[in-house]
Structure 1
């Protein structure tokens, strides 16, 4: 049941679609960086931080995603209460600054403070309002609009790895990161110019966190599903390039697997978004989440050194996993009032932040344990963990849908 049927939404028109463009511009740097962490992890493991374990390096990017999502619990209510500018502009400045620090970092703590902490918090201040703005302008076509905006993360995940792989050898890694910083600054400027809110601020909320929202069973079940799906998604994003390297694929192809996966996810954010508006947002999430678990067990797990199988997994998983980013916020909005969306989004992604904080290190420890046992890199346990978590996410999406509308087949 839609919670905003008593409000009128443009659901189109130049102003509404310009907000989608602004949201897209905001997500290119903020979410594009998260989709590039596999390349960052592989590069640092071979260069600046080659004396550190994969699990230790994983904490750098796990902490980045933690702050990206953790900040939402405060950014969301502040957006509902005070609007866009107090969050977006400082976030854009901090995001660009974090990349410039990343470009000159050499020590472990410098990557932690400059990229993980400053970059993660700043990205949250950019990403969360850009998603919430779309819910001010779209209702009936919200999934499609959010899916289009969310393709930006895939675009960033294509552009940034390609820039690193092509520029790092010629200009050096620091200048490759600085160029990414300049590109991010341009997209941030456009997002500030285009993003606008429409529905009056919820001043009664006063920017506070309301954890009592979790008493709503349908919302708490949905939150659990989104936590699990984001936990599982980070594992292939982070470890697929290094998995390919360990199986004998060339470094250039291994790095470009992130670009291949993200390119497929672009289509996987638009097409399912269109069908979600027609056949139900929860229904599409259930189907795509189950398909992801099938691809992990049936394709990634047995692929070994089969180059075709690894590339096929990157394409098929990339397409089916795109809904984790594009439809999760839409599912939250579907069971929330628009003026409370920021608050509910923030609470959900507070718990997501905890999941993403431990996802990469847990996967890294599983990898380290099996590697020390087998005497060589063994990703079997890591892949099984990823597939099982995806399957559990599917179960929680089913339970949340059942609590909302019952167990009969219908559009929801």
Structure 2
């Protein structure tokens, strides 16, 4: 046996994460961690996060239906289109804004207590919104309160799936991320139907109650592996920002969200602008979410097979290219639906790949800390992108009312794809650490 002293553990954990594009050394071997089971109770956690995504982000994804309804009616006197756009942005922005305190609370209180708090906040927000009579009521309820609730539910849950999987990490995250598509599909159809047949108020109340019950069930089933992994779970770890790969990943997230929010919320009103009926306009949001449900597991499978950074970059590029080749020339219901299905599969690639990509770049133990930074970085684009998009609208252009928002979204996705390809090249240069 050699008398050479063993290398300290902390030296190993500073080695950049090496994924399938750079090495065959398992991540947990690099970090000295017990290997994830790649299954077992992890599949229950996948189901739980699937439900949480469906009844949090899926609900938010259907806001485009409410937005189109708000824009076509004068429900709140004095409200402008920018007011309604900002409410949707507040959903995402407030969810991301609470990431740092929620990460710290999760370290102190565990996973479940913050999530149960979130269930109460989200449910209460929708029910309170149903009684709104002024636009500022809607800001506080359907905007801020619902957004904070989603943040409390989602932030503690997002890292759990990656803790249970290694070789199947991306496909597992793809499956649970598809929950937002299923939820968005259900609520997009249901919201418009309830509005047309009952009222907007009851649409909001039913949304709050149903999502609250389902999220409470999912929260009770979820389990983390923090006791084994012992993540530091820092709310804002400045040391991570010293890594160029981390900065590139954060840049990708920021820029891609500019396109994502524009697409997610603008599509139903775009459909209205080209002469489609209110029900057809609402269905475009539903088909967008159907594409999400079908595409994300496939992207997860391809990511595990061909490399997570590479596949995420290609999906981001497809999102941008499809804007110019399909959305821009769309004038009929058929082409708009086709675009919704195709782009739904790839436009939210950030949400389904960010957890595996954080592991690739920083390692499993640093996953919660890097996620907390990521949520902080995307606050501005998720809050203001749709506001910018509606400001760019030109109703006087007729059929081309959404020309500038379309160019804005497509360009953002192409720039984001270029950033991720640079990150991929940088990761491929990382040498495999010695055994």
Q: 1:286 to 1:204 in 2, by over 3 A?
A: closer
* Cα pair distance change 1:407/1:49, threshold 3 Å: farther
1:153: which partner in 2?
A: 180
Contact 1:224 1:393 in 2 (8 A): yes
**CA offsets per residue over residues 60-119 of structure 1, 9 Å max, x none?**
111111111222233234434542023111111111111101221121111111121111
Other-structure match for 2:72: 46
Q: Give me the whole-angstrom Cα distance separating, in 2, the residues matched to 1:254 and 1:362.
A: 21
1:230 corresponding residue in structure 2: 257
Q: Which residue pairs with 2:356 in the alignment? A: 330
- Per-residue CA deviations over 1:145-192 (Å, capped at 9, x if unaligned) read 111111111111111111112121222111122111121122112112
CA distance in 2, matches of 1:389, 1:86: 37
CA–CA separation in structure 1 for the residues paired with 2:377 and 2:39: 33
Corresponding residue for residue 247 of structure 1? 274
Residue of structure 2 equivalent to 1:397: 420
Specify whether residues 210 and 78 from structure 1 end up closer, same or farther in structure 2 by C-alpha distance, changes over 3 A only. farther
Does the Cα contact within 8 Å between 1:231 and 1:352 map onto a contact in 2?
no
Aligned mates of 2:329, 2:418 — CA distance in 1: 24
Give 1:306-325 correspondences, 5 Å limit. Answer: 306-325=332-351
1:138 corresponds to which of 149, 160, 165: 165
Conservation of the 8 A alpha-carbon contact between 2:64 and 2:266: yes
Query: What residue number does 2:118 align with?
Result: 91
Indicate how the Cα distance of structure 1 residues 376 and 145 shifts in structure 2: closer, same or farther if over 3 A, else same: closer
The 3 A distance-change label for structure 1 pair 124 and 204 is closer
Contact 1:295–1:317 (CA<8 Å) still a contact in 2? yes
Tell me the secondary structure at the aligned position of residue 321 of structure 1: coil
* Alignment RMSD (CA, Å): 2.1
Unmatched 5+ stretches in structure 1: none
1: distance between equivalents of 2:405 and 2:399? Answer: 14
Q: Is the 8 A contact 1:292 1:321 kept in 2?
A: yes
Report the structure, 1 or 2, having the larger helix content. 1
Match of 1:9 in 2: 36
Structure 2 residue 380 is matched with structure 1 residue 354: yes
Counterparts in 2 of 1:383 and 1:407: CA distance versus 1, 3 Å: farther
* Matched residue, 1:388: 411
- What SS class does the counterpart of residue 52 from structure 1 fall into? coil
Alpha-carbon distance change, 78 to 219 in structure 1, aligned in 2, over 3 angstroms: farther
What is residue 60 of structure 1 aligned with on the other side? 87
Counterpart check, 1:101 vs 2:125: no
Q: Any gaps of 5 or more consecutive residues in structure 2? A: 1-17, 20-26
The partner residue of 1:343 within 365, 369, 381 is: 369
How far is the alpha carbon of 1:322 from its aligned partner? Answer: 4.2
User: 2:171 touches 2:304 (CA, 8 Å); kept in 1?
Assistant: yes
Whether the aligned pair in 1 keeps the contact of 2:232 and 2:365 (CA below 8 Å) is: no
The structure-2 alpha-carbon separation of the partners of 1:195 and 1:96, relative to structure 1 and needing over 3 Å to count, comes to same
Q: Which of 152-161 and 169-178 deviates more?
A: 169-178
TM-score, length of structure 1 as denominator length: 0.93
Matches within 5 A, 1:290-309: 290-303=317-330, 305-309=331-335
* 1:221 and 2:244 aligned: no
* Deviates further, 38-47 or 200-209: 200-209
Equivalent residue number for residue 75 of structure 1: 102
Q: Report the equivalent of 1:186.
A: 213
Shift of 1:343: 1.2
CA distance in structure 1 between the partners assigned to 2:43 and 2:263 by the alignment: 32
Secondary structure at 1:327 match in 2: helix
Q: Work out whether residues 147 and 326 of structure 1, in 8 Å CA contact, stay in contact via their aligned partners in 2.
A: yes
Instruction: Report the CA distance shift for 1:180/1:203 in structure 2 as closer, same or farther (over 3 A).
Output: same
1:401 offset after TM fit, Å? 1.4
Query: 2-side partners of 1:383 and 1:102: how far apart?
Result: 30
- Which residue of structure 2 aligns with residue 371 of structure 1? 395
TM-score between both structures, scaled by the size of structure 2: 0.88
Query: What is the aligned residue count?
Result: 403
Residue of structure 2 equivalent to 1:210:
237
Q: Distance in 2 between matches of 1:122 and 1:320?
A: 26
- Which of residues 182, 202, 205 in structure 2 aligns to 1:175? 202
Work out the CA distance in 2 between the residues paired with 1:405 and 1:366: 39
